[in-house]
Amino acid sequence: MGTLIDRFDEHDGPVRGVDFHRSQPLFVSGGDDYKIKVWNYKLRRCLFTLLGHLDYIRTVQFHHEYPWIVSASDDQTIRLWNWQSRTCLAVLTGHNHYVMSASFHPKEDLVVSASLDQTVRVWDIGGLRKKSVAPMEDILRIPQMNADLFGGGDTSVKYVLEGHDRGVNWASFHPTLPLIVSGADDRQVKLWRMNDTKAWEVDTLRGHVNNVSCVIFHAKQDIIVSNSEDKSIRVWDMSKRSGVQTFKREHDRFWVLASHPELNVLAAGHDSGMIVFKLERERPAYASYGNCLYYIKDRFLRCFEYSTGRDNPLMSIKRAGPGVNQGPRGLTYNPAENAILVCSDAEGGIYELYNIPKDGTGRGDVQPDALKGSASSAVFVARNRFAVLDRNSSQILIKNLQNEVTKKCSLPGSSADTIFYAGTGMLLCKSEDKMILFDVQQRKSIGEVSAPMVKYVVWSSDMSNVALLSKHAIVLCNKQLQQTCTVHETIRVKSGAWDDNGVFVYTTLNHIKYCLPNGDNGIIKTLDVPLYVTRVFGSILFCLDREGKNLQIPLDSTEYLFKLALLKRQFDQVLGMVRSGQLCGQSIIAYLKDKGFPEVALHFVQDEASRFDLAIECGNIEVALQAAQAIDKKETWHRLGVEALRQGNYQIVEFSYQKTKNFERLSFLYLITGNLEKLSKMLKIAEMRGDVMSCFHNALYLGDVRARVRVLEDAGLLQLAYLTAKTHGLTDEAEKIATELEGNVPEVQEGSKLMLPPQPIVKEENWPLLAVSKGMLDGILAEDPGAYDIDEDEVDAAGAAWGEDLDLPGIAGDGEEDSEDMEEAVVGDEDEDDGWDMEDLELPADIANGDADIAADIGRDQGPYVAPPPGIPAVQKWVQKCSVAGELAAAGDFDNAMKLLNRQLGISHFEPLKQYFLDAANGSHVSLPTVSGIPSFVLGMERNWDAEAPAGRTQRPSILYTLDVLEEQLKKGYKLVTEGKFVEAQKVFTAIIHTIPLLVVETRKEVDDAKELLRISRDYLIALRVELKRKEVKDDPKLVAELAAYFTHCNLQPIHSSLSLRSAMSIFYKMKNYNTAATFCRRLLELNPPAKIAQQARQVLLACEKTPSDAVAVDYDARNPFDICTLTFKPIYRGNKYAECPFTGARFAPECKGQVCPLGDLTRIGDEGTGLVCSASQVR
């Protein structure tokens, strides 16, 4: 919205007229270079130029049907052009002054023109149309063209409308009626009517106080819109011939108007640019209850039944007042009394109370009397009570259905301007940037939540959840007004409704979207026109368009129901959706990975590379092996080996190392697994490869001393070979090598020991596996129908870690094995009288004590130990819980933290914050050392941790930056300023500015303290930049004095203000600007300085008052409040335009807009931001 798409720069001088073609990608322009240019905006170039006019071209327009263009010029002519043949068809002469506008009739063969000769002319071009479709067109074109140049017979003047006292600037046809409207320099708007034979003036509209620049008819309503050089746009009622609305600008004159041919949108051009606006709200007033939708259309209250689709008028509604934008703004329904409240903006805000007739169904002629009253908003609060917001008295009035006041309540917030229904006896009050839940009975606030400029409130059917809709944001809360999530949109939010599953479905200008309770959102459908959601039933969305038509749109709710099932951990529904195959796409896969369900995402992916990544992430080593075999790349096998080693599946590790030919890792793997046979093979392979180092390592791993001696000999390292042989007792080899050394034999130290590799503890196929237990959906998602069948072999292989089997007498399975087990359990003979004569067995002590070891051995023999999965990392839990940028940075989610800071504070340059982000993330973790050779444990530290808290409860991450730390920095900055170390002080205050975006506090008071800290740092940075600039420009005394004067107006501590005033006093006194120096003396004395300084100031003041004049004129006005631009170092006096930093609030000259703010180098001047959010209490 409002974005520059392209620029076209071929005209020489101003361009005065532009028009788009209705069906082709063309537009035409005319300018002061006497040229008409036709452009193709898709090709982004000018197609051709039409030449012929001899002076400035005022307006150009395409014909709605034929390939014609009409142009008006200061050369006192109107020309008609054929843009296909690129020729001039006719020249309309007759005006004797500049022709200011010319346009085609929307249906007939007419052209209307306005001229400064005080006339409006209507031209008949019917003959030209007939000639253009004649079969002999090409033959007759040249002679006819000659006639046209002299005002020939194809075109003629039909009417000359005289009545304006000065030059006419604009004239327009009505789109359907035989009417013309004109505006002139006599400040009047005139309405004309015409028939086949004549045209006459109907009425004159007066109200503008300067020249009327442009005037048009509205495309859909009986109104006239005009604008003027008096800086106003006026709206006139055609039937009453009177003004109904006026829009004014402070500094800009209006010059041109245009209306959209289909939409209720107008545009007006002024000195500084253009505005696009609507005259009336297009959102219909409606209220949904149960199976019915009550809405107002064409001044009738109608009822639409969702189940049957019946749409009946119930009664007529009077229009609240004359003019535009007087229609109903809101509608509230009372089911108990079958009554409605209609609110509108007429007369400054009124409400109307109607009782719907019981016999009025299906009849539109019923028009009951309404009870009225003044209020900015009104809603029902009980069966026979409604609340009215009276802003004049700042009270909420409770009235009965007879419109009588029964109770008065003070507003919960002094700035509350709107109230919304919140259940029986409850109201939601909008106050600036927050919503307050107000109990009417108890007359007190129950809760509040921060929400910027809420426009609409939507409750779920059971009143358990509420959605607060702003212009570009949605805040979801529960019934206690505790915030659950916030969704930000870049385009306008229009409406919304809750479906039966607790999902909020809403519309923007372009899309139907959804929002889950945890804040996840997405697009359901793209819209061509804006729609207003009234109800969601299953997969059907009911809505109203801007014309008040009820529409039913089928929704594909599979995506958000799938996400909702994952959120609620309803895995049976997830299973059904996966098997149906209705979901696919990278967005679903990315969502599942982000939410910690890679095992589910694995079943959506066909691409082998993606399958491999997901299988590695969720630890599914079998699927990863299949994908790696299909990909067959070295880096893939390496990653597979790393994951298999982590799980302890060293068979796949071995296979991966063999694929990558990583012989060194293979040798070490065989060493730690005790596979000496394969280690011997690795030694032979190394010898075949001629790799001396690998040969030595493998010999070392095997403990083969002779092989090590041989390798050292072959490498020419005879002294090392001698030491190795001598140390390990190989006397013969040592003597042989000694002879080769020829007396240069190294000395062998005493006490040398034989070094052999340790014996491995486990020599099985695989180690006890870690993190290989199946995911929660692996069994469900298996394609075979027997995913839940129990394999007897697996049961038999279960180790001792699962505990011992229970022998339950009297409960037998079916089959012979159970019978045999029972028989083996019987001790003694078969004498029934003795029963089960069970006696204790006396076992040897060594056997009895070894039961546990035997059981453990049996457990190892029967199968691998299966450990529980590691669980969700603390960082991931933090990210889901965090709502403040500082917490997200501490959790390591830099991307979302930066997006949040960009939206809230307008920060777009994050390079200065890089180290602060890293420090915040590192500060929320602690590293615990372990035994040698094992990496340290990195654990997340939580804020406000409580040992008594229930297990599984997730707190927020610990925060590195606190208010106490920043206050210490502030004190340090004060001290440096006092000492005159301005460069060091600037660094300290800049560091505070950089730290505040990542600050996290708990209470509202601390939020206010943080904002005050930001303000102080900003003011000091401005002051320091001014003072440092003053020291740079010592050669310019005038500029030095100005900067010294500006420095005194910075908001500093008293001691620093007194120092700045003393400096300015001295500088101005030396310049002989005694009058200004005296003002500094008085301000200094007001601060009650020490006696010595006060005495000096009084002496200077006495000297200045003797000669109250200024020798040098400086740009400084002490009486007019101003801000200092720290880029231009010029004052911005009150009332002048300025651009603002969205983070610090520092003000700059307008020409600095778009530059990087020097106070921290984080934002661009003029960008927008919603404000500093450093506490979860601000988003609840």
Q: Spell out the residues 6+ positions from residue 357 whose beta carbon is closer than 8 angstroms to its own.
A: 314, 315, 366, 368
Is the pLDDT confidence value at 91 over 90? yes
Of 1101 and 703, the structure prediction assigns the larger pLDDT to: 1101
| Type of residue at 429 | C
Q: Is the separation of the CB atoms in 1067 and 1040 below 8 Å?
A: yes
Q: What is d(CA 978, CA 1055) in angstroms, rounded to the nearest whole number? A: 8
Q: What is the structure's pLDDT at 79?
A: 95
Name the nearest CA neighbour of 18 among 45, 42, 44, 36.
36
Instruction: Check pLDDT > 90 for residue 629.
Output: no
The separation between CA 777 and the C-alpha centre of its own chain, rounded to angstroms, equals: 33
In Å, the largest CA–CA distance within the chain is 141
Cα–Cα dist 398/1136, whole Å: 45
Per-residue confidence at 319, pLDDT binned at 50, 70, 90?
Answer: low
State yes or no: pLDDT of 792 exceeds 60: no
Asked if residues 27 and 20 have their Cβ atoms less than 8 Å apart, the reply is: yes
Find the helix packing angle between 676-689 and 663-673, rounded to 10°: 160
Rg (alpha carbons) of the chain, rounded to whole number: 43
CA distance 1007 to 992: 15
Measure the CA–CA gap between 395 and 377, rounded to whole angstroms: 12
Predicted pLDDT at 604:
62
The answer to whether 201 and 190 have CB atoms below 8 angstroms apart is yes
Residues 6 or more apart whose CB falls under 8 angstroms from that of 54 comprise 34, 73, 75
**The predicted structure's pLDDT at residue 173:** 94
Nearest Cα residue to 236 out of 297, 182, 162: 182
96: its two tokens: 């004797």
**From CA 491, how far away is CA 712, in angstroms rounded?**
76
Rounded distance between C-alpha atoms, residue 399 and residue 407, angstroms: 7
pLDDT one-digit tens code per residue, 630-672 = 888 888 888 888 888 887 777 888 888 888 888 888 888 878 7
Domain range summary for the chain, segments of one domain joined by +: 451-559, 591-741, 965-1032+1117-1178
Rounded to 10 degrees, what is the CA torsion of 849, 851, 852, 855?
A: 160
Q: Tell me the residue length of the chain.
A: 1180
Higher pLDDT, 386 or 728: 386
- 254, 277, 232, 249: which is closest to 2 by C-alpha? 277
Q: How far apart are CA 993 and CA 1159, in angstroms?
A: 8
- Residue 804 clears pLDDT 70, i.e. is over it: no
Answer yes or no: is pLDDT of 75 > 90. yes
**Confidence check: pLDDT of 142 > 60:** no
Domain 591-741: give its CATH architecture.
Alpha Horseshoe (1.25)
Predicted local confidence at residue 184, as pLDDT: 95
Encode burial over 599-632: b for 16+ CB neighbours within 10 A, e otherwise.
bbbbbbbeebebbbbbbbbbbbbebbbebbeeee
Residue range 261-271: mean pLDDT, rounded? 86
Residue 827 CB contacts under 8 Å (≥ 6 apart), including other chains: 836, 837, 838, 839
Tokens encoding 78:
């109107």
pLDDT beyond 60 at 141: no
Asked whether the beta carbons of 496 and 474 are under 8 A apart, the reply is yes
Does 29 or 850 have the greater pLDDT score?
Answer: 29
Confidence at 735, pLDDT banded by 50, 70, 90: confident
For residue 28, which of 52, 56, 49 has the smallest C-alpha distance?
Answer: 49
pLDDT per position as a tens digit, 511-552 = 999 999 888 888 888 988 889 999 998 889 999 998 889 999
In contact, 72 and 85? CB cutoff 8 Å: no
Burial of 258 (0-12, 13-18, 19+ CB in 10 A): middle
- Match 């199976």 to its residue by tokens: 291
Q: Which of 628-632, 873-877, 949-953 has the lowest mean pLDDT?
A: 949-953
Can you say whether the dihedral through the CA atoms of 852, 854, 860, 863 is positive or negative?
negative
Q: Which residue has the higher pLDDT, 821 or 622?
A: 622
Q: In terms of pLDDT, which residue wins out, 587 or 51?
A: 51
Residues 692 and 45: their CA atoms lie apart, in Å, by 72
Query: Which band of pLDDT confidence, cut at 50, 70 and 90, is reported for residue 508?
Result: very high
- Averaged confidence pLDDT in the chain: 81
Decide if pLDDT at 393 tops 50: yes
Q: How many whole angstroms separate alpha carbon 87 and alpha carbon 142? A: 11
Among 511-525, 691-705, 858-872, 1157-1171, the range scoring the smallest mean pLDDT is 858-872
Tell me which amino acid residue 230 is: D
Both tokens assigned to 535: 């109800």
pLDDT confidence bin for 957, thresholds 50/70/90: confident
Residues 418-435 have a mean pLDDT of 88
pLDDT at position 570 over 80? no
Q: How far apart are the first and last CA of the chain?
A: 30
Q: Between vectors from CA 967 to CA 961 and to CA 970, what angle results, nearest 5°?
A: 115
Asked if residue 5 has pLDDT above 90, the reply is: no
Distances (CA, A) of 1120 to 699, 742, 1132, 1133: 91, 102, 10, 7
Higher pLDDT, residue 314 or 840: 314
Kindly state the tokens that stand for 919.
Answer: 């420090």
The Cβ of residue 1022 has, within 10 Å, a number of other Cβ atoms equal to 26
Most confident listed range (147-156, 639-648, 702-711, 1075-1084): 1075-1084
**Both structure tokens of 806:** 């229970």
Q: Are 364 and 315 in contact (CB under 8 A)?
A: yes
Q: Residue 736 carries which side chain, given as an amino acid letter? A: K
Q: Give yes or no for residue 240 having a pLDDT over 70.
A: yes
In whole angstroms, what is the distance from residue 489 CA to residue 649 CA? 48
Q: Interior CA angle at 443 toward 437 and 446, to 5°?
A: 30
CATH code at 451-559: 2.130.10.10
Residue 268 has pLDDT above 90, yes or no: yes
The answer to whether the predicted template modeling score (pTM) of the entire model surpasses 0.85 is no
CA distance 229 to 97: 21
